[in-house]
Amino acid sequence: MNSRFCIPFILFIWLLIPVTEAQAYIDPGAGSILLQAVIGGLAAVAALGASYWSRIRSVLFRRSNRPGS
């Protein structure tokens, strides 16, 4: 999007969005869901790292195949 049209476009969209007072609260279950998401993300990273561990190890600890070394 062209820069001279970007700011008026954003202002136009901003004026279309009504601002109302929210009558809401965050219940205790929301914290539990957030904690589960963080733990699940860490578990996914750990599983990915474990599945690629042999490739990572071979790159980090490469041995030379030269005779006499």
Task: Give the type of residue at 42.
Answer: L
Q: How confident is the model at residue 53 (pLDDT cuts 50, 70, 90)?
A: confident
Say which DSSP state 68 is in: T
- The pTM score is 0.48
Q: Which two tokens stand for residue 69?
A: 């070394």
- The yes-or-no verdict on residue 63 having pLDDT over 80 is no
3-state secondary structure of 10: helix
